[in-house]
Amino acid sequence: MKKSDFYFDLPEELIAQHPIKNRDQSRLLLVNRKNGEISHKHFKDIVDYLNEGDTLVLNETKVMPARIYGHRPDRDEKIEVLLLKRQEDTWQCLVKPGKKMKIGNEIIFSDRLKGKVVDIIEDGIRIIELSYSGIFEEILDEIGQMPLPPYIHEELKDKNRYQTIYAKYYGSAAAPTAGLHFTEDLLNKLKEKNVNIAKLTLHVGLGTFRPVKEDDILDHKMHEEVYKIDKENADLIRQTRENGKRVIAVGTTSVRTLESVYKKYGTIVEDSGSTDIFIYPGVEIKAVDGIITNFHLPESTLIMLVSAFWDRENILKVYDQAVKEKYRFFSFGDAMFLY
């Protein structure tokens, strides 16, 4: 299966540059896999398509303001560092320009935060040991910027708009964007309808920023991301399936977590660890009955994952329909519910 099999033509004006005023007023494209029916709603209408006893699975990861800028001592320069993954006392980072940063190089970010390159992983990827005075999260909030994707060119005025309203655990280098559409009022309406809400955590990492370079997608290597699901939420998800109800994943990150756990145990149980699972057409989805997701980049691992829920040809037809109907694409864009 070729990378080019997942290409579609996307006009640049459909790439959403900012979030809409009200989260749940984004558009929602509904896709019924059983009969192929497509309908067009708004996200707040999702309540009508989730049933009593279904379980919605949310990712509680919280995006760090992880893009920080510094310079080497006595240098007039600008080094961009994106914190991706914590490894005890060090961080795996994406560094620009990467070639300049050798092992032993020091970086000054502020009076309170400094770093030292201790290892080189690959082009642009460095292991950096950070030293700081005070509370690290407070320093990041003070000097860090939200790591918005490169296709977003407008400044984000409110950092919270790149967080889900239920974000809890710091650790992501990017938002689980399907969750950006939910409001407290919408979640309350789902609970009133006796739709269950389950939560897990997967910290979005390097894979989000790395394109598929190989022509044959099976040659692509996913980077590992850390996940966790506790007993209470695992039991809820497992019992939902046992009761004949649906498990609906909010976003590709929730899918990746649940499918990783299912692959290990043959069911959903309490678990934590890291996963490099790659889901594409031909990989059977076993833990999830539907997905709520945004519209993704052409030739990305994300559109490949969504295609595994149905098939590549049908998903590309849906995307063509979304383009014709001028849906907003990517992180701040509209949503699709594939069920």
Distance CA 299, CA 149 (A): 16
Same domain, 277 and 137: no
Same domain, 281 and 312: yes
- Per-residue pLDDT tens digits for 85-95: 888 889 999 99
Same domain, 213 and 254: yes
Supply the CATH number for residue 92's domain.
Answer: 2.40.10.240
Same domain, 78 and 47: no
Q: Has residue 314 been placed in a domain?
A: yes
Distance CA 301, CA 255 (A): 13
Q: Has residue 272 been placed in a domain?
A: yes
| Contacts of residue 265, Cβ cutoff 8 Å, sequence gap at least 6 | 271
Total domains present in the chain: 2
Indicate the DSSP class of residue 224.
P
Tokens 């977590």 sit on residue? 257
- Per-residue pLDDT tens digits for 236-246: 999 999 999 99
Tokens 């910027």 sit on residue? 145
- Per-residue pLDDT tens digits for 94-121: 999 988 899 999 999 999 999 999 999 9
- Average pLDDT over the chain, rounded to an integer: 95
Q: Answer with the residue of higher pLDDT: 155 or 175.
A: 175
- Per mean pLDDT, which range of 57-71, 136-150, 254-268 is the poorest? 136-150
Supply the CATH number for residue 331's domain.
Answer: 3.40.1780.10
Diameter of the chain by CA atoms?
Answer: 65
203 in Cβ contact with 62 (< 8 Å): no
Q: At residue 221, what is the residue type? A: K
The domain boundary residue, chosen from 143, 167, 201: 143
Percent of the chain residues topping a pLDDT of 70: 99
Same domain, 254 and 272: yes
Q: Answer with the residue of higher pLDDT: 89 or 215.
A: 215
Q: Could you list the residue range(s) of the whole structural domain that residue 318 is in?
A: 3-63+158-338
pLDDT at position 251 is 97
- Per-residue pLDDT tens digits for 165-214: 999 999 998 999 999 999 999 999 999 999 999 999 999 986 666 789 99
Indicate the DSSP class of residue 93.
E
